[in-house]
Amino acid sequence: MKLRIVSGNLKGRVLSIPDRDTGFRPTRERIREAVSNILSSRLRDASVADICAGSGAFGFEMISRGARQCVFVENDRYRLRLLREHADRFGVSDRCRFSQSDIRGFIRDCTDRFDLIYFDPPYDDPVFIPMVSDLLGLLSGNGILVHEHRNRRGRTDATGFDATPVPYDLRTYGETAIRFYRQPEPAGTAEN
């Protein structure tokens, strides 16, 4: 599988994912481009975390478009090795950090704060939905959390999203939904 960087100084560079690594679903190019365009004014010198990084396509897209650094969080050792190889090949290793960790461990141990977090966990696994709230705690003051998941519009099964914070924006792209979150304001600071 080959994934192309859409824009920026790495535009046209290709992430090569061996055919044997079919156990994940990378974010489609059209969605990466749309989300990147929505966030474009926030990318210059941003600190980014690509959670459940998989191919790393989103994190490399952010670096290509001006992010200062990206932390790639991936529990799979093989995929993490590929991420490092791509960073070396693209000449951006100095702007990348890699964390082989599950999400709970990363949230628990992380002391950094991020301007942008992209959270793309395995679709249809409800265990990840409550982690949206926990990830909000890793945002900088004006940070944005972007959560990719399956679009459930028109389905009757429970999604679990009614228990999560309310997104300030929701975009759908076919079977994919993208929710945008900010940190909630502390109690007592909302305007009357």
Residue 93 sits in a domain of what CATH number?
3.40.50.150
Yes or no: say if 71 and 138 are a contact pair by the CB < 8 Å rule.
no
Identify the pLDDT of residue 158: 43
Yes or no: say if 57 and 127 are a contact pair by the CB < 8 Å rule.
no
3 state SS of 9: coil
Yes or no: say if 114 and 147 are a contact pair by the CB < 8 Å rule.
no
Please give the Cα distance from 130 to 27 (Å, whole number): 21
Mean per-residue pLDDT pooled into runs of 10, the chain (192 residues): 91 83 71 92 96 93 96 93 96 97 93 96 76 94 93 54 76 92 67 47
Yes or no: say if 118 and 42 are a contact pair by the CB < 8 Å rule.
no
Domain assignment present for 190: no
Identify the pLDDT of residue 156: 38
Domain assignment present for 51: yes
Element at 116 (helix H, strand E):
strand 114-119
Amino acid identity for residue 30 in this structure: R
Domain assignment present for 186: no
pTM of the predicted model, to two decimals?
A: 0.88
Identify the pLDDT of residue 69: 97
3 state SS of 4: strand
∠ CA 123-46-49, rounded to 5°: 30
Radius of gyration over every alpha carbon of the chain, rounded to an integer in angstroms:
16
Residue 117: φ, ψ to 5°: -120, 130
Domain assignment present for 48: yes
What domain count does the chain have? 1
- What is the span of the domain harbouring residue 104? 2-181
Domain assignment present for 188: no
Neighbours of 90 (CB within 10 A): 19
Identify the pLDDT of residue 155: 45
Domain assignment present for 143: yes
Residue 74: φ, ψ to 5°: -145, 130
Domain assignment present for 176: yes
